[in-house]
Amino acid sequence: MKKKKAKSVRLPDEQMARLEAIARASGKTLSEVIRDAVGQYIAELRRDQEFKERLNKRLEEDREVLERLAE
């Protein structure tokens, strides 16, 4: 079984009500529905070329800072 980490997320009442309704209708727990949604969002971002470019830029900036700290 994969290790899981608990996080607290605040959602507007309406969004939470919709998620709870989706979970009940799907026969899933609220946690499963949220994990599925997050997984889909991550998959979508991994296909997004603009996001990849921003991510690579950030990685390079972070690498430069870390290298300066290591000197």
- Taking only the tens place, the pLDDT of each residue in 11-23 is 999 999 999 999 9
pTM score, whole prediction: 0.77
Backbone angles phi and psi of 49, in degrees to 5: -65, -40
| Residue pair 23/34 in contact by the 8 Å Cβ criterion | no
- Taking only the tens place, the pLDDT of each residue in 22-68 is 999 999 999 999 999 999 999 999 999 999 999 999 999 999 999 99
Burial class (CB in 10 A: 0-12, 13-18, 19+), 7: exposed
Structure tokens at 26: 């799907």
Distance CA 61, CA 6 (A): 30
Backbone φ/ψ region at 7: left (φ over 0), alpha (ψ -120 to 50), beta: beta
